[in-house]
Structure 1
Amino acid sequence: MIPNLDSQIGITVYSTTFSGIGGKIRVDPEDFHVNEIISEKAKNSISDQQGYAVYKLKKKKIDTNHALSSIFRKKGIRLKSLGLKDASAITEQFVCSGNKGKAIENFSTEKYSLEKIGYVKKPLSKKDMIANHFKIKISECSNELSSFTEFHKILNFYGYQRFGSKRPVTHLIGKAILQRDFKKAVELILSFTSSYDSKENTEIREKLSDKANYEQYFDQVPNQMDVERIVLKEMIEHDDPISAIRAIPLALRRFYIQAYQSFIFNQSLSLSFLDGENLFEAQSSDVCFDFHGIIGKYVQGLDQRLALPFVGYSYYKKTRFDYQITKILKQEEITPKDFFIKEMQEVSSEGGFRQAAIHCFDYSSHENTVEFSLSRGMFATILLREIMKPEDPVIAGF
């Protein structure tokens, strides 16, 4: 049985035959460790010679953005990360200064520590981070973990975090923007409820489903609902859905569109799998990524990984997945052209390609702990979903 939450985000299949061990993850932050892996070239470029300072940021119970904001407040230094790590794990990652100069002293707070590891001639970028290594304890599970061997047969779905986890709404907001229904996008941001949300949040959202209540309940909207407060303020002052959406930070508006593209991608992968397409081996005329992440046509004998279109306004039709993708777009009443948004050009997206299968390496398990590495942009929760087959991903800690 596929959980309802999975279906909501476009995942309607399991690609492994394993029956699942159940259980829970993240019972304690110590149960979930993530370490970034950077390329050999990047590692070798770190030296004692002056330049841009590189640090190792270790943290728990705080996400990357909040940790970097705290460092800026305390030390006045802006650092860039190579990837984002969430709060419900113990994580180690590389961060780099954007300016040349003397490094700050190592320091720590109860949630994070910062340790200087050297300097580089040019700042490290996202491309230098090639993978993440995970070590995860699964509590309250059956003792069948050692029988799981299908880690090479896992589809590269976008995970729950991409869609808002407990409140899977980001892709729906993205779709409303693509359909130029800005009024609906505002309504979804303010009043979309989920059975997993807290009672207080649900109550306030139910009140906000009526526009007449906006002003009356503005002060009751908690500070952590920061996006909702931005949108509400704009609606109260100007009653203009486009300007209310525009008031949201650009990165988050783009994220809504990407979340909808991710939903289409998850559906495309699910439907292609159900239709019997081979998603684990590339065939002639397929589009593939090579070992360096460069995209190109399939060449026999080369080490290449199959890619599926990530739909945008430059959607490439000539793949064996066009049948499934066209069918999904028709159902969704969306066309590739819709991803060019005249009314809000800054969030338009041309699309691209994404690998069809997860690239998992260094896999091992011991009792109820599993360790593995995944290439950048792949979700550990998607691999864990195949191992655990949870009845309810939220209760299972996803």
Structure 2
Amino acid sequence: MVPNLDKLIGISTYCTKTEGTGGKIKSTPDQFFVSEILREKSLGKISSSGSYTVYKLKKQGIDTNHALSDIFTKYGLRLKALGLKDANATTEQYVCDMTTGRSTDTLVTNRYTLEKIGLVQKPLTKKDMVGNHFKIKIEDANFSKVIQFADHEKILNFFGYQRFGSKRPVSHLIGKAILQRNFDHAVETLLSFTSEYDLPHNNKIRNMLKDKSNYSKVFDQVPPQMDIEKIVLDEMINHGDALKALRAIPIQLRRFFVEAFQSFVYNQTVSKAYEFGEDMMQPQQGDVCFDKDDNLGRYQNDPMQRLAIPLVGYSYSKKNRFDNFISQILTEQQITPKEFFIKEMQEASEEGGFRQAVISCHDFVIKEPYVDFTLSRGSYATILLREIIKPSDPVAAGF
């Protein structure tokens, strides 16, 4: 049986039979280390001449979006990350200045450092990143249960808890309300959705925000970490227009909400297909696959190809063996693919695409109490760890 939190984000199965080790992660940010790995070819493009500056961002106790927002506010640098990294971790990642001719050498604050490493002719994109290396401490684990963990290459590539909000899995619900053009409900959900895993003080504030007449009264009590809620509240107090209030949220976050709903549909699709008995580990004739260079194409009986599962968007095509599951989920959720084109908020529209069905894990090593491994881009370490630990309460276990 999977924990209730897993079901809330669309995961209803395990794909390993091993007994969980138990234990917990992320007691402190330095126990969860992650660093990005760039393609050799991309590293070779970084030199002493070029139009765009590349930096290495090292951070702890702040997520990527907040770090980049802080850098822009304080130093005027508009940086783009190749991937998003969690707050409760020690992370190293590449970021690229999106404006030509501006740069700084090194910035140091108590939560992040930004170090210039060179210049490129064209800005780096997430395609330049091949994966992430992790070194993670698992406290209080029974490691004798993990020695036989040889199935780490056969783990379904679910979207992890962070995609939805670990302590408050709400991002996909806001995204769904946006897709249904129910902008009032999106604002209500963002402000007042409560979770049993959240802090009591936060839930108290959110319960008060269920009543719109409290907006002005509660505004000054909203804690600093609820910065997005403050932006929306301020807009709602000033003009009461929900769509306008949502559009005051930074664009990457608005996209993130819609993508979170897309991720929820994907998680449910993979869960249902796996439980139904579809072969998720090997591609078949007619499947869409990634090749060794991450290019998409139809299956060609090539052992290097990896099965790809559709991510629903406005360009979704039903011609795939997972459509029965996808169509059933969309019907239950009362969403159609074409609704992913949002006329009222075009910048958050989502075309769709594909995601690798199985995690690609390399160099998996146990050095008690640490595990060391490398995952391909876009895969979540917490999904690999959930199969190892099998936590009964993911939040208490640090997920």
CA distance in 2, matches of 1:143, 1:41: 38
SS in 2 for 1:147: coil
1:395 partner letter:
A
2:55 partner letter:
Y
> What residue in structure 1 maps to residue 300 of structure 2?
299
Is 1:63 the counterpart of 2:71 in the alignment?
A: no
Aligned length: 398
> What residue in structure 2 maps to residue 42 of structure 1?
42
What is the correspondence of 1:84-103 to structure 2 with a 5 Å cutoff? 84-99=84-99
Length-normalised TM-score, structure 1: 0.93
Q: Deviations over 1:289-332 (max 9, x none)?
A: 11122111111135211111111122111111111111111222
The change in CA–CA distance for 1:242 and 1:153 in structure 2 (over 3 A counts) is: same
SS in 2 for 1:146: coil
1:107 is displaced (CA, Å) by 5.0
CA distance in 2, matches of 1:279, 1:386: 16
SS in 1 for 2:228: helix
Is 1:146 the counterpart of 2:147 in the alignment?
A: yes
SS in 2 for 1:80: strand
1:73 is displaced (CA, Å) by 5.8
The change in CA–CA distance for 1:86 and 1:282 in structure 2 (over 3 A counts) is: same
2:19 partner letter:
S
Is 1:333 the counterpart of 2:334 in the alignment?
A: yes
The change in CA–CA distance for 1:113 and 1:350 in structure 2 (over 3 A counts) is: closer
> What residue in structure 1 maps to residue 14 of structure 2?
14
Query: RMSD across aligned C-alpha pairs, in angstroms?
Result: 2.0
For the Cα contact (< 8 Å) 2:57–2:115, is it kept in 1? yes
1:32 partner letter:
F
Is 1:287 the counterpart of 2:291 in the alignment?
A: no
1:355 is displaced (CA, Å) by 1.0
SS in 2 for 1:67: helix
Query: Structure 1: where are the runs of 5+ without partners?
Result: none
For the Cα contact (< 8 Å) 2:86–2:162, is it kept in 1? no
SS in 1 for 2:143: coil
CA distance in 2, matches of 1:228, 1:315: 32
Length-normalised TM-score, structure 2: 0.93
1:77 is displaced (CA, Å) by 4.2
The change in CA–CA distance for 1:246 and 1:366 in structure 2 (over 3 A counts) is: same
The change in CA–CA distance for 1:214 and 1:86 in structure 2 (over 3 A counts) is: same
1:300 partner letter:
N
1:185 is displaced (CA, Å) by 1.3
> What residue in structure 2 maps to residue 253 of structure 1?
254
CA distance in 1, matches of 2:122, 2:397: 42
2:140 partner letter:
E
CA distance in 1, matches of 2:78, 2:246: 28
The change in CA–CA distance for 1:352 and 1:123 in structure 2 (over 3 A counts) is: closer
CA distance in 2, matches of 1:83, 1:196: 26
1:86 partner letter:
D
1:69 is displaced (CA, Å) by 4.4
1:50 is displaced (CA, Å) by 5.9
1:188 is displaced (CA, Å) by 0.7
CA distance in 1, matches of 2:271, 2:174: 22
The change in CA–CA distance for 1:32 and 1:351 in structure 2 (over 3 A counts) is: same
Range with bigger deviation, 65-74 or 36-45: 65-74
1:269 is displaced (CA, Å) by 0.2
CA distance in 2, matches of 1:220, 1:378: 37
1:222 is displaced (CA, Å) by 2.4
Range with bigger deviation, 246-255 or 263-272: 246-255
What is the correspondence of 1:339-378 to structure 2 with a 5 Å cutoff? 339-378=340-379
SS in 1 for 2:147: helix
For the Cα contact (< 8 Å) 2:274–2:280, is it kept in 1? yes
> What residue in structure 2 maps to residue 384 of structure 1?
385
SS in 2 for 1:65: helix
Percent of aligned pairs with the same amino acid: 59
> What residue in structure 2 maps to residue 120 of structure 1?
120
CA distance in 1, matches of 2:351, 2:122: 29
SS in 2 for 1:365: strand
Q: Deviations over 1:318-358 (max 9, x none)?
A: 11111111111122222222222333333222211111111
1:132 partner letter:
N
1:20 is displaced (CA, Å) by 1.0
1:278 is displaced (CA, Å) by 0.6
CA distance in 2, matches of 1:68, 1:344: 23
CA distance in 2, matches of 1:216, 1:70: 28
SS in 2 for 1:34: strand
For the Cα contact (< 8 Å) 1:285–1:297, is it kept in 2? yes
CA distance in 1, matches of 2:252, 2:65: 13
CA distance in 2, matches of 1:99, 1:336: 35
CA distance in 2, matches of 1:241, 1:74: 29
SS in 2 for 1:334: coil
> What residue in structure 2 maps to residue 178 of structure 1?
179
2:340 partner letter:
F
The change in CA–CA distance for 1:212 and 1:368 in structure 2 (over 3 A counts) is: same
For the Cα contact (< 8 Å) 1:146–1:366, is it kept in 2? no
1:277 is displaced (CA, Å) by 0.4
SS in 2 for 1:54: strand
SS in 1 for 2:173: helix
For the Cα contact (< 8 Å) 1:50–1:101, is it kept in 2? no
Range with bigger deviation, 300-309 or 383-392: 300-309
CA distance in 2, matches of 1:359, 1:385: 16
> What residue in structure 2 maps to residue 161 of structure 1?
162
Range with bigger deviation, 31-40 or 343-352: 343-352
The change in CA–CA distance for 1:280 and 1:218 in structure 2 (over 3 A counts) is: same
